[in-house]
């Protein structure tokens, strides 16, 4: 099973109001194991980036002005997703509406929300009433997100990949793209990678003799049973 964990950054909240993508980040998983393949692209949104959006992701007009527009990168993006890539997104409705708006601008069909795994919904179902933001889930699973001072599509996709695999029931440690297939299980979060597992010595066999008074009381109780199952078998 091939899955693509995806995150985006944008100029605002609504593509119908003229907001555009400014960054896409993707991490490829195969059967819940990172392959090491990623896709990352900054995008010129062909409009100014509001200050409130810059405060979130740090991508301003000066930085983005020489980046390619979506029409120049969409084929490479679609090739990475492929026909067999199932999207995994946190708060999928937000990202999908932006992806679909950009794809519509270049004449391509969009993605169906029902075909996308939304980790926000998964987390809310698994932990009802608990915070379900990416940061909150990283804290829950012991995933090191100390480098997340600003939102960044590729970094967030990598963190989300770790969160997603924990939501699926856990994984081998060291999800980082350099992890080897022979890694030892370490529990939660790549922050634990490199820590030797605890080796517990098996406890020697112990005897637990029954006190005489308890044994006698048990025999009396058994003798008093008039309709015991084991008597029926006889």
**Neighbouring C-alpha atoms within 13 Å toward the C-beta of 12:** 13
Find out whether 32 is annotated in a ligand binding site. Answer: no
pLDDT for res 116 = 97
**What pLDDT is attached to residue 230?**
64
Domains, the chain, in order of start with CATH, read 2-177 (3.30.420.10)
Check pLDDT > 60 for residue 37: yes
> Can you give the pLDDT at residue 145?
82
pLDDT at 143 (0 to 100): 92
Burial 155-176 (b: 16+ CB within 10 A, else e): bbbbbbbbbbbbbeeebbbbbe
Q: Residue 149 annotated as binding?
A: no
- Give the model's confidence band at 231: pLDDT under 50 very low, under 70 low, under 90 confident, else very high: low
Per-residue pLDDT of 117-140, as tens digits, reads 999 999 999 999 999 999 999 999
For residue 234, say whether it is annotated as part of any ligand binding site: no
Whether the Cβ atoms of residue 40 and residue 153 lie closer than 8 Å to each other: yes
For residue 172, pLDDT beyond 60: no
214 is in an annotated binding site: no
pLDDT of residue 212: 83
Is 52 annotated among the ligand-binding residues? yes
pLDDT at 171: 58
The pLDDT of residue 146 is: 80
The catalytic position among 32, 40, 90, 151 is: 151
With contact defined as beta carbons under 8 Å apart, do 147 and 1 qualify? no
Beta bridge partners of residue 168, listed in sequence order: none
Q: Summarize the confidence of residues 134-158 as an average pLDDT.
A: 87
Region 52-59: what's the mean pLDDT?
A: 93
Catalytic (active site) residue 151: yes
Is the model's pLDDT at 39 over the cut of 90? yes
Q: In the prediction, which pLDDT does 161 show? A: 96
Asked if residues 118 and 92 have their Cβ atoms less than 8 Å apart, the reply is: yes
């Amino acid at each position: 099973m091939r899955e693509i964990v995806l995150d985006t950054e944008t100029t605002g909240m609504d593509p119908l109001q003229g907001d555009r993508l400014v960054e896409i980040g993707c991490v490829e998983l195969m059967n819940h194991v990172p392959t090491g393949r990623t896709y990352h692209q900054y995008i010129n949104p062909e409009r100014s980036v509001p200050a409130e959006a810059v405060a979130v992701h740090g991508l301003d007009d000066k930085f983005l002005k020489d980046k390619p527009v979506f029409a120049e990168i969409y084929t490479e993006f679609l090739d990475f997703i492929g026909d067999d890539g199932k999207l995994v997104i946190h708060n999928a409705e937000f990202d999908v509406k932006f992806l679909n708006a950009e794809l519509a601008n270049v004449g391509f069909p969009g993605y169906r929300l029902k075909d996308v795994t939304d980790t926000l919904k998964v987390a809310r179902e698994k932990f009802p009433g608990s915070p379900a933001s990416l940061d909150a889930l990283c804290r829950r699973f012991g995933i090191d997100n100390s480098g997340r001072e600003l939102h960044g599509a590729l970094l967030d996709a990598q963190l989300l990949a770790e969160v997603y695999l924990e939501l699926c029931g856990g994984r081998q440690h060291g999800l980082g793209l350099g992890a080897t297939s022979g890694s030892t299980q370490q529990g939660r979060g790549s922050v634990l990678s490199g820590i030797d597992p605890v080796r517990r010595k098996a406890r020697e066999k112990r005897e637990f003799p029954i006190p005489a008074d308890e044994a006698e009381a048990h025999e009396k109780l058994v003798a008093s049973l008039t309709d015991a199952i084991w008597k029926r078998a006889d």
